[in-house]
Amino acid sequence: MKLISILTSIILFSSLMLPIYAQENSFIKEYLERLENSKKYLILVAETMPEDKYNFKATPESMSFAENLMHIGWAMDWHSQSLMGERKARDWNTDEELKVANKSIKEMIDKISETFDKTIKFITNFDPNRLKERLDYFGADRTKRQILLLLADHITHHRGQMLVYLRLNELRPPRYVLYQ
């Protein structure tokens, strides 16, 4: 009788938890689709700007087109690998991997593509049960799910600046890629 009660409890508990796990798994799947499409669109945007315009800034205090591009990579790396993955953050003052430095356009685009791929791999392997874990985000208490949403917004924000830079240089941005 005791065994039946234990088995019934386990089955009942499992059936209650399954929808929650499925929701978290759906979020990861949908987020990955969004990130893949974001990568495609950002690369199209980066390829549209001619090399001689990569240092263009809308105002003197703004980031250049190239700096916006590499900043997106830096943010993806930090949010996923360091903040969510607990890897020590890169030192902005000494690490050149995700800075413009003396990179060609091809090197910058390749680095952004690689950083998207690393982020996608990280999120693919991320345990969905950890999405509800909380951490300090610049003084705000946020879940790891919120961190992923903030990262998507951050990519969109800087890509939006890059789209304006294309228009300011009388270039037509590539057609928008849906679901991002």
| N residues, the chain | 180
pTM, two decimal places: 0.85
Cβ-in-10-Å burial (0-12, 13-18, 19+) of 142 comes to middle
Contact 162, 149 (CB under 8 A): no
Contact 108, 70 (CB under 8 A): yes
Q: Which pLDDT tens digits describe the chain residue by residue (180 residues)?
A: 676 666 555 665 655 554 444 456 899 999 999 999 999 999 999 999 999 999 999 999 999 999 999 999 999 999 999 999 989 998 888 889 999 999 999 999 999 999 999 999 999 999 999 999 999 999 999 999 999 999 999 999 999 999 999 999 999 999 998 877
The residues, ordered by sequence, that sit 6+ positions from 155 with a Cβ below 8 Å of its Cβ are 38, 42, 72, 75, 76
Is the domain defined by 25-168 classed in CATH 3.20.20.70? no
